[in-house]
């Protein structure tokens, strides 16, 4: 096999960056405007975050 295939198959560099962007987005919306936008954001993002963990 190739020497470049030594990395664990469960590790994707893009996932950590994506989670970071989602967290920054939640923090930004939280500081920008309180409850309504945050609830909408959580409604859309929580399935995505939970899906990426599992």
Tell me whether residue 2 is in a domain.
no
Tokens of 48: 């995505």
pLDDT at 45 (0 to 100): 81
Give the chain's largest Cα–Cα span. Answer: 53
The domain tally of the chain equals 1
Domain boundaries, position 48? 11-53
pLDDT at 1 (0 to 100): 47
Tell me whether residue 3 is in a domain.
no
Tell me whether residue 35 is in a domain.
yes
Instruction: Label residue 11 left, alpha or beta by phi (over 0 means left) and psi (-120 to 50 means alpha).
Output: beta
* Residues 42, 48: Cα–Cα separation, whole Å: 10
Per-residue pLDDT of the chain (54 residues; tens, 9 = 90+): 445 555 555 556 677 878 888 888 888 776 766 667 777 778 888 887 777 765
């Amino acid at each position: 096999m190739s020497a470049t295939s030594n990395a664990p198959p469960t590790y994707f560099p893009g996932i950590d960056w994506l989670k970071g962007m989602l967290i920054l987005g939640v923090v930004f919306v939280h500081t920008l405007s309180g409850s309504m936008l945050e609830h909408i954001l959580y409604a859309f993002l929580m399935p995505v975050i939970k899906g990426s963990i599992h």
